[in-house]
């Protein structure tokens, strides 16, 4: 694991944010880890994102007040579970695409729609990029 600064973008937050974290690349798996604490949250959330380019999938594991494990895989509808203070929410994930990091573009980006068992589907684009220097501001 190598320490780094990550730039994370998601439609859930609007503006990109930066987090100190780690990344590693072993046996074809690229792993990012970071912790988030946003203004309205009481407890930080720990994230682990595992990118498997050969298997064409991304796994995101979250721990904290809300815990979850979700698998993103284009062409397959996958299932995920969010454990919240309001109970368990099961979701179906339809991944539109995954752009895996490469020598020309170090950003991992994926687009998906998450359809909960109750409520409206949520469409999102998520990306994470390891920065070679500290973020400004």
Residue 96 CB: number of other CB atoms within 10 A? Answer: 13
pLDDT at 26: 93
**Is residue 1 within 8 Å of residue 22, measured between CB atoms?**
yes
User: What are the tokens at 111?
Assistant: 């687009």
pLDDT at 132: 74
- Quick: pLDDT tens for 7-41: 999 988 888 999 999 999 998 899 999 998 866 76
pLDDT at 61: 97
pLDDT at 135: 47
Q: Which of the pair, 43 or 46, is modelled with greater confidence? A: 46
In terms of residues, how long is the chain? Answer: 137
Domains of the chain: 2-131 (2.40.128.20)
pLDDT at 123: 95
Res. 6: pLDDT tops 50:
yes
- Quick: pLDDT tens for 52-87: 989 999 999 999 888 999 999 999 999 999 998 889
Cα–Cα distance list, 120 to 54, 72, 91, 96 (Å): 32, 19, 11, 18
- DSSP states of 70-115 as a string? EEE-TTSEEEEEEEETTEEEEEEEEEEEEE---SS--EEEEEEEEE
Residue partners of 15: CB distance under 8 A and separation at least 6: none
Beta bridge partners of 45: 36
- Quick: pLDDT tens for 79-115: 999 998 889 989 999 999 999 998 888 899 999 999 9
Beta bridge partners of 93: 78, 114
- Quick: pLDDT tens for 116-134: 877 789 999 999 999 976 5
């Amino acid at each position: 694991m190598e320490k780094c600064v990550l730039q994370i973008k998601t439609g859930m937050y609007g503006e990109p944010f930066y987090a100190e974290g780690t990344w590693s690349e072993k046996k074809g798996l690229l792993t990012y880890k970071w912790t988030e604490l946003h203004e309205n949250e009481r407890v930080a959330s720990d994230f682990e994102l595992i990118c498997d380019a050969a298997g064409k999938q991304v796994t995101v594991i979250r721990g904290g007040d809300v815990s979850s494990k979700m698998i993103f895989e284009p062409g397959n509808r996958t299932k995920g579970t969010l454990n919240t203070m309001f109970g368990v929410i099961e979701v179906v994930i339809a991944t539109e695409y995954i752009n895996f990091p490469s020598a020309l573009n170090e950003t991992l980006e994926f687009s998906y729609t998450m359809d909960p068992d109750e409520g409206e589907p949520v469409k999102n684009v998520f990306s994470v990029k390891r920065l070679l220097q500290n973020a400004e501001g």
